[in-house]
Structure 1
Amino acid sequence: MNCGESWHDAWNALSPITQVRLFLKLLPGLPPELVRLVEQEWTFYGRPDQKSRRLPPWWTWLVLGGRGAGKTRTGAEWVKGMALGLAPIASEPVGRIALVGETQAQVRDVMIEGVSGLLAIHHRWEKPVWSPSRRRLEWGNGAIAQVFTAEDPEGLRGPQFGAAWSDELAKWPNLQETWDMLQLGLRLGDRPRQVVTTTPRPLPLIKRLLDDPRVAVSRAATSANRFNLAPSFLDSVSQAYGGTRLGRQELEGEIVEESADALWSRALIEECREREAPPLARIVVAVDPPASSSKRADSCGLVAAGIDRDGIGHVLADATLAGAKPHEWAQAAVALYRRLEADALVVEVNQGGEMATSVIREVDPGVPVTAVRASRGKFLRAEPVAALYAQGRVRHAGAFPALEDEMCDFGPTGLSSGRSPDRLDALVWALTHLMLGPKGRPRVRGL
């Protein structure tokens, strides 16, 4: 290796902000205030994949990245540039911008108030005013960014925009309907544009965007943002998920199709999608307790499902918890039971034995608990439930990304990661109880 290559490798090993600071040292005499401004300027230290492309022309910029890859900062900086008319993002300010996320809480906590959100990345003199009650940000130049959610696609009917930022598209309930409403409102100005920041999943909409020549695509792995992440985090997730299908999706930012021998397919699950469940005759919350509460322990699977008068099953919620102590997952299970006005908790007792049921009764002695014990392997238990889906007898009331990822990865040898399919186990117990086993006396109620 020659000196030039050695210097080049050493330079590339430095974080972008360190490169900027070294460059500034070559320019003595700069005022400290100017140095601080330059150090904070996104143009200098944002990665190439985090900066919007000017050519070829595009109407959508799709940013696919692993967990912690800097997707939120990318989207926030783009919106800032559009609102303030900052080159090279925009030649003039865009007056109306849509901010669309999974829920209002997600938009607020991540896109707006998060550590890489819109409020955090502005200088104090240019920072927009956030009005939570009105669900909007307003800049000094009059530009406005309005909050919308995939929980309420109809909220996008009527308003119009010149730009939009959609975050974590792969987690949206009512995905296609929300997307369609947003596209119909993206009609202000000569060239309305949008950025989509998301962890990739092989959803039909994302696949269509990838195939569209008008869509610019950027990709980044979690490791690309290593200078802004705790080394312990990178080490732990790499050891746990490196080389697995889940790791390719969540860390490498790849589109990973379902396993060839999985019991469920993405297409099948999409066919089962519904916006909300009808009145239900019976609702249960299934609990798949972990063997321990250590950091490396399995998650506690918590899935709620119901059955209607026509015998159709409806998956209602996935509230699975990771690293929870027994009293914590018991409280979460009881809370979900109460919220849905469920009829019973269905609890697997193979792992915790009587402890699993007793800890729930400590939280609420009045909750009906049905203990179930597995006598067959996970795959054999899941096969009859998968058959219910194939027969069109199960619906998903919304989207459950983590659960559906497990379903499309689960085959005869389990999950490709080798981890326990805790969400799937809870789903299987819930639907088995409702549709394949004894049922309690039904009572009709709406959700």
Structure 2
Amino acid sequence: MTDYADFGDLLLLAGKMAAGDVETWERFVKGLSEPVKRRIGEEFFAWQAHGGQGEPPGDGWRVWLLMAGRGFGKTRAGAEWISARARENPGAAIALVGGSRDEVVKVMIEGPSGLIAVARTGEAPRWRPTRGVLSFSSGAEAFVYSAAAPEKLRGPEHHFAWADELAKWRQADAAWDNLMMGMRLGERPRMVVTTTPRSVAILHRVRALKDTVETCGRTEENAHLSGAVRAWLAETYGGTRLGRQELDGVLFDTPKGALWTRAMIERSRQSGTLPRGELRRVVVGVDPPVSAEGDACGIVVCGLGRDDSVYVLADCSVSGMRPEGWARAVARAAEAWGADRVVAEKNQGGDMVESVLRQVDGALPVKLVSASRGKAARAEPVATRFEGGRAKLAGCFPELEDELAGLIQAGGYEGPGRSPDRADAMVWAMTELMRPAVEPRIRVF
């Protein structure tokens, strides 16, 4: 058994590890004493981290954006960085924000590279699920938040934060703004953002901040991944657009085959809303949620203008509500805009959808529609109308626009969240408005 009192030789070996010489590193580590092995295992940034996992140098940054391919080690880097901040700052308040509460717990806290797993000997963070708090031995506390419930971030203050998979957040802008406004404790509040790249507005926005430092990386840079896994990934996805995004960490402005490009979306935008008097018809499109567990109910108001163009007027979508809750949101939208029709998809819930809407407001002009084709196929005629300048956005709708940009011609979806609920609701409303009007006729016999 070999021991290294001054760790000098190990520094040389760490250099080999950083250069990808895993076999040499592993051969030497096998001969080390258990205390030395433990120290190497616990001092992550000194001995195990590759170049892309280290904290950026200098004091001028506020946001560390770690945007890299899958398997790069983003979660491990985020967990180690938060653990270090908790260790150095007794009593610190830390925010842990993910796409959902479940993702925060399973990935950021209890996952194989999460905060509990990376704790050093004698630290043993205490996870209290009923309170949603992870307590560190230093006295620092990390609080769990879901980006799907951005209002929960309004009010709390934090010294540090870890935002995971930002590009997948449903209510990204609201959650981000509330998080950033609460980053005001201590002399230098900072946060790390770990995410796989996706062409969504929030990611472009964060990258553009003057105090953001960006680290990019590829899956193959993580020498801890087995050679067989890396070889299989390279053989299966190497050279493909998906591989470049998910493995090489390349951020494409627009997904390949997108029905809505960012340029098309911007061209369709007009400032200000349209007065009701300039609209011939108003329809509320509804894409009911599968469940109340974080799923959004898409509620989008669209109108047919006197110029025969169709307009997106409002995005009234809600998340995490029971049927009565989202039904009331639909009724409010219909009343506010004087809608003459509410078009709701009945595939999720069947007659229950109409029943719950009528329980809230018996006078709602409800029309149920069935989805016989996929979301992308239904969206193509609407996208064509946008491309021809006959469909427009009467304002800014960030969450809806991100979903539109993620709809792919072949039927895929590469936008935020599991499903384009807002986009689907818009498509239902616009499809109704695009139907040719039936003119009254006098029949002669």
TM-score tier by shorter-chain length is 0.5 to 0.7
In 2 relative to 1, CA 11–112 (structure 1 residues): closer, same or farther, beyond 3 Å?
Answer: closer
Question: Is 1:247 paired with 2:243?
Answer: yes
Aligned equivalent of 1:182: 179
Question: Is 1:436 paired with 2:431?
Answer: yes
| Per-residue deviation, residues 256-295 of structure 1 (Å, max 9, x unmatched) | 11269854133766979xxxxxx98664689xxxxxxxxx
Partners of 1:39 and 1:56 lie apart in 2 by: 28
From 60, 65, 82, the counterpart of 2:63: 60
Q: Per-residue deviation at 1:11?
A: 8.5
Partners of 2:131 and 2:108 lie apart in 1 by: 16
- Aligned-residue sequence identity (percent) comes to 30
Partners of 1:383 and 1:433 lie apart in 2 by: 15
Query: Does the Cα contact within 8 Å between 1:282 and 1:342 map onto a contact in 2?
Result: no
Aligned equivalent of 1:292: none
In 2 relative to 1, CA 193–317 (structure 1 residues): closer, same or farther, beyond 3 Å?
Answer: closer
Partners of 2:404 and 2:351 lie apart in 1 by: 21
Partners of 1:261 and 1:368 lie apart in 2 by: 27
SS in 2 for 1:228: coil
Query: Does the Cα contact within 8 Å between 2:79 and 2:113 map onto a contact in 1?
Result: yes
From 37, 40, 47, the counterpart of 1:38: 40
Partners of 1:436 and 1:75 lie apart in 2 by: 44
Question: Is 1:118 paired with 2:115?
Answer: yes
Aligned equivalent of 1:223: 220
Aligned equivalent of 2:364: none
1:241-280 to structure 2, matched below 5 A, reads 241-258=237-254, 263-266=259-262
Partners of 1:166 and 1:405 lie apart in 2 by: 23
| Per-residue deviation, residues 399-432 of structure 1 (Å, max 9, x unmatched) | 696x55543xx5xxx5xxxxx3334999998766
1:187-198 to structure 2, matched below 5 A, reads 187-198=184-195
1:70-85 to structure 2, matched below 5 A, reads 70-85=73-88
From 86, 89, 98, the counterpart of 2:95: 98
Aligned equivalent of 1:149: 146
Partners of 1:72 and 1:93 lie apart in 2 by: 23
Q: Per-residue deviation at 1:126?
A: 0.6
CA RMSD between the two structures? 4.7
The one-letter amino acid paired with 2:35 is E
Partners of 1:226 and 1:21 lie apart in 2 by: 11
The one-letter amino acid paired with 1:421 is G
Aligned equivalent of 1:159: 156
Partners of 1:259 and 1:282 lie apart in 2 by: 26
Aligned equivalent of 2:392: 391
Partners of 1:139 and 1:35 lie apart in 2 by: 23
Partners of 1:119 and 1:389 lie apart in 2 by: 54
Q: Per-residue deviation at 1:224?
A: 1.7
SS in 2 for 1:216: strand
Query: Does the Cα contact within 8 Å between 2:300 and 2:429 map onto a contact in 1?
Result: yes
| Per-residue deviation, residues 197-220 of structure 1 (Å, max 9, x unmatched) | 111234444334434443222111
SS in 1 for 2:216: strand
Partners of 1:395 and 1:117 lie apart in 2 by: 37
Partners of 1:423 and 1:317 lie apart in 2 by: 20
The one-letter amino acid paired with 1:144 is E
1:5-16 to structure 2, matched below 5 A, reads 12-15=19-22
Q: Per-residue deviation at 1:169?
A: 1.1
Query: Does the Cα contact within 8 Å between 2:404 and 2:420 map onto a contact in 1?
Result: no
Q: Per-residue deviation at 1:129?
A: 0.4
The one-letter amino acid paired with 1:150 is A
TM-score by length of 1: 0.63
Partners of 2:76 and 2:401 lie apart in 1 by: 25
Q: Per-residue deviation at 1:383?
A: 1.8
Partners of 1:137 and 1:241 lie apart in 2 by: 38
Partners of 2:20 and 2:260 lie apart in 1 by: 43
Partners of 2:128 and 2:91 lie apart in 1 by: 19
In 2 relative to 1, CA 186–430 (structure 1 residues): closer, same or farther, beyond 3 Å?
Answer: closer
Structure 1 runs not aligned, ≥5 long = 1-7, 86-91, 273-278, 287-301, 319-333, 345-366, 415-419, 441-447
Partners of 1:243 and 1:122 lie apart in 2 by: 38
SS in 2 for 1:223: helix
The one-letter amino acid paired with 1:109 is K
Partners of 1:339 and 1:114 lie apart in 2 by: 38
The one-letter amino acid paired with 2:348 is Y
| Per-residue deviation, residues 352-402 of structure 1 (Å, max 9, x unmatched) | xxxxxxxxxxxxxxx98564699x99966852476699423899794696x
Aligned equivalent of 1:337: 348
1:371-390 to structure 2, matched below 5 A, reads 371=372, 382-384=383-385, 390=391
In 2 relative to 1, CA 372–317 (structure 1 residues): closer, same or farther, beyond 3 Å?
Answer: farther
From 402, 418, 422, the counterpart of 2:412: 422
Partners of 2:86 and 2:58 lie apart in 1 by: 21
SS in 2 for 1:119: coil
SS in 1 for 2:117: helix
Partners of 2:379 and 2:302 lie apart in 1 by: 29
Question: How many residues in Structure 1 have an aligned counterpart in Structure 2?
Answer: 351
Aligned equivalent of 2:3: none
| Per-residue deviation, residues 55-105 of structure 1 (Å, max 9, x unmatched) | 2532211101112221111100000000011xxxxxx44611111111111
In 2 relative to 1, CA 66–22 (structure 1 residues): closer, same or farther, beyond 3 Å?
Answer: same
In 2 relative to 1, CA 171–12 (structure 1 residues): closer, same or farther, beyond 3 Å?
Answer: same
